Amino acid sequence: MKFLITGAGGQLGKEWVYYLQQKNLQYVASSSSDLDITNRTLVFETLEKVKPDVVVNCAAYTRVDDAEDQIEAAFLVNRDGVTNMADACKKFQAKLIHYSTDYVFPGVPGDKSKFPDGYPESADTKPINVYGQSKRAGEMILEKSDFTDWLLIRVAWLCGPFGSNFVKTMLRLSEGRDEVGVVNDQFGSPSFSFDVVEKSMFLIRKNETGIFHISGKGLISWADFAEAIFSKSGKKTAVKQITSKQFPQKAKRPHFSYLSTMKLQQKNADILEWNYGLDTLLTRLKIDNT
């Protein structure tokens, strides 16, 4: 099985490369500077040359706040880039793995009681910011396509040993602050990059298609997550619990973005408890930094 990884310079792309190296599997890794998925001609030329069995599309526009002003750029990558990838995979008979986000859901506070186990894959989507809208547009490209050999995997609160993420930001801030303000009215559960890759491979090997959620088990707030990060890493930094109104951002954030993994469980996959995932990540970071 030969893999082509796009967006290989990002945190999920780097995790895929790490995994494939560990498993001694054949792959070609292309960063966004190597392979711009919005360049249709280049996408087709690359697939024709590489001849992958599986294309893992980790390329995405992910700057949530910037997307509010850079609407065209966000849709160019997150919608039009997906069109190019799907069309090329269809032509060259490769399976497409594409990643999306919890931000496609409305995340209104009432959904916390409506979906106590998290949003199922079939829940109505209604993104509240441009980033979410652009990612949903990419999802719809796949859903409406006559190309069917795809896996659309939604993740939330993505974090891992590579790139920038909430866990690494909290650890960095703890080095210079006695207290960090973190919102306590946004709820979800983290997706750990290593778990996402392992579960993605689980689905690939089972030749699954369609939409799946890969996320941690257990509902928490960002403030809860920060407190666990400091506690487990032995940091003395305190968490000041604040509301979203006290931490204004250009793009609206969902108050509830917990993803149900029931569909994945029905395939006999073990779901990672978020606190165990955090233990693993902190161990990985400690090893990588030594």
Which residues are identified as catalytic? 131
Token pair 């919608």 is found at 79
Backbone angles phi, psi at 177, to 5 degrees: -130, 145
- Among 256, 273, 266, which Cα is nearest to 116's? 256
Calpha distance 39→135 (Å, rounded): 18
For residues 6 and 57, the answer to whether their CB atoms sit within 8 Å is yes
Calpha distance 42→35 (Å, rounded): 7
Calpha distance 205→162 (Å, rounded): 25
Beta strands 220-221 and 187-188, pairing class? antiparallel
